[in-house]
Amino acid sequence: MKNEFVTLNHIQTHVITYGDPFNCNGKDVIVCITGNPGIPDFYIEFADELHKSTGLPLCIIGHAGHDVVPDEASSILKGQEHLFDLDGQIKHKLQLIDSYVDKQSKLHLIGHSIGSWLILELLKDNENLTMRLKSVNLLFPTLQKMAETRNGKFLNGFLRNLHNFVLLLFVLVHLLPSVIVKFLIAIYLKVYALPSHYSEYILKFLNPNVGEKVLFLAYNEMDRVKSLNVEAINKIKHLTNVIYSKTDNWAPISYMEDLYKYQPELTMKQVDIDHAFVLKSSETTAEMVMQFIKTKL
């Protein structure tokens, strides 16, 4: 595993790689696009398992502005909003694939949550990318009517109205002595039976610059993610595996049923796994993804 910082669509970005996806002599490459928050560290266990089981070079990319990076200019939202909204995130991911991933390689794309929506948008207007595809895995995908979901209604109807207060909370937490913050995080991890090393990842999320971008993108998702991208779905119907959770407040099973009506040729599966699968079900999810990728090698 290697941590790299590359500039994508003018924003310095933390990318995690396995093998050498940027120079692998045309070997197939897996590209994993995270959900929101787009902090790639949360996907390390998932990627570890996937790289180990497939042997393929792999790259995890989060979202522009969703990580702590050395370049301070990459953390400024005001005047650069277009770099951090959904359109900016599409350009961000496209530049990674076009400018960094080995140009001779075929691709296995994985999208989690909003990462799935981004994949469909990438494919809609980029035929060259579609031609490079060997498989697509959409994990707990938020593809339509996000604002109408249970979590969407809470975010849009409550949290969004308290935006300035929430930002203030991020600042106040940031001003607390680090020993207190780490102690509080340790209690949270213990209560929810999560690994202690997640403390480092949560500290990144609690950074005010990161939290600001996470919320900014979330609001944009509420406004933009409304109808299924049927055009893109039809392009990749034979290459795509879609996994839904039976209890998902971002992507309810009824949305899976809607997707099936549009395109019954997709491979689909219902599982009893949380939407944020990376917290407790990385290995189980990686196994399902690996099995599908191997059918497309």
Q: How many CB atoms lie within 10 A of CB 45?
A: 19
Active-site residue (options: 67, 275, 281, 282): 275
Is 250:142 a contact under the CB 8 Å cutoff? Answer: yes
Q: How far apart (Å, rounded) are the C-alpha atoms in residues 181 and 98?
A: 40
Q: How far apart (Å, rounded) are the C-alpha atoms in residues 98 and 101?
A: 7
Q: How far apart (Å, rounded) are the C-alpha atoms in residues 124 and 21?
A: 24
Active-site residue (options: 74, 75, 113, 281): 113
Instruction: Let me know if 275 is a catalytic residue.
Output: yes
Active-site residue (options: 41, 67, 85, 248): 248
Q: How far apart (Å, rounded) are the C-alpha atoms in residues 18 and 59?
A: 6
Q: How far apart (Å, rounded) are the C-alpha atoms in residues 220 and 218?
A: 5
Instruction: Let me know if 281 is a catalytic residue.
Output: no
Is 220:86 a contact under the CB 8 Å cutoff? Answer: yes
Is 235:130 a contact under the CB 8 Å cutoff? Answer: yes
Q: Which residues are catalytic?
A: 113, 248, 275
